[in-house]
Structure 1
Amino acid sequence: MPHMAIEYSANLDAAVDMDGLCALVADTMLETGLFEIGAIRVRAFRAQSYAIADRLPQNGFIDMNLRIGKGRSAEEKKSAGEAIFAAVSARLAELFATPHFALSLEIREIDAELSWKKNAIHPRLRGK
């Protein structure tokens, strides 16, 4: 259950290909070897209203929240986070060349007793 929610300021619409960013994140998650392809979900949400730092209109943000199921070591979670953050940082290098951009990533584990799922995609991808 690796689900990545990417929230971003609306002023980044012209600067960032969000479909491409979502694909990059999904590919990077898969490349870690920690997540099954049928479980990966990446989605982006545009924040129309926001106030960032000193409120200059050029200020923008991308906030990534990755929810995962339990069962991975602290080292594995850290390695996955570093891989995702590095890939996204590299993709957004032009934004970091300005003094108006902030990027964040947080990984949270889901309590299995309080999470319900039903997935018809897994059997297809597993060939069963």
Structure 2
Amino acid sequence: MPHLVLEYSSNVRDSFDPTAVLAEIHTALSATGGFRPQDFKSRALRLDTYAVGDGSREQSFANLDVRTFAGKSPENRAAIAEAALAVLTRAFARTMSETSCDISVQVTELDRASYARARSEHA
């Protein structure tokens, strides 16, 4: 834990390496959120089918969902969101300056009682 899901519209203008951006977010959240780097499970999804607003102008977006177990304080969750947002605004700087772009981060708390997983212990 945590799981990071980055979704972004296919019209972003930045040439970015999703793996590198996720790694930078891992570093930022390890320092801010108290996560261990080896516990991140992250993925980035480029969305070719999407709708933003009324479609009357070029609009783009990126959204990061940080899924973690419940128990972090509201201040800690806010710090996690702000740290991730800082990375994403740098990663999508060109898109932010050339389009109407929304970048958002949400911290979703998972209930331990309803979370199940199987883990392999292979090295």
Q: What's the offset of the Cα at 1:56? A: 4.9
Distance 1:17 1:81 in 2: 21
Note if contact 2:14-2:92 (Cα within 8 Å) is conserved in structure 1.
Answer: no
Q: What is the SS of the residue equivalent to 2:30? A: helix
Instruction: Render the CA deviation track for 1:9-30: whole Å, top value 9, x for unaligned.
Output: 1223763332222222222122
Q: What's the offset of the Cα at 1:62? A: 0.6
What is the match of residue 103 of structure 2? 103
Q: What's the offset of the Cα at 1:108? A: 0.9
Q: What's the offset of the Cα at 1:57? A: 6.8
Higher mean C-alpha displacement, 5-14 vs 104-113 = 5-14
Change (3 A) 1:33 1:50: closer
Q: Return 5+ residue gaps in structure 1 as ranges.
A: none
Q: What is the SS of the residue equivalent to 1:95? A: helix
When normalised by structure 2's length, the TM-score is: 0.83
Q: Percent identity?
A: 24
Note if contact 2:2-2:67 (Cα within 8 Å) is conserved in structure 1.
Answer: yes
Distance 2:32 2:90 in 1: 17
Structure 2 counterpart of 1:9, one-letter code: S
Instruction: Render the CA deviation track for 1:24-46: whole Å, top value 9, x for unaligned.
Output: 22221222251122211221112
RMSD: 2.3
Note if contact 2:27-2:37 (Cα within 8 Å) is conserved in structure 1.
Answer: no
Distance 2:46 2:59 in 1: 15
Change (3 A) 1:33 1:60: closer
Q: What's the offset of the Cα at 1:52? A: 1.3
Q: What's the offset of the Cα at 1:103? A: 0.8
Q: What's the offset of the Cα at 1:53? A: 2.0
When normalised by structure 1's length, the TM-score is: 0.81
Aligned length: 123
- Please identify runs of 4+ aligned residues in structure 1 that moved more than 6 A: none
Q: What's the offset of the Cα at 1:54? A: 3.4
Distance 1:25 1:103 in 2: 14
Q: What's the offset of the Cα at 1:5? A: 0.3
Distance 1:57 1:42 in 2: 31
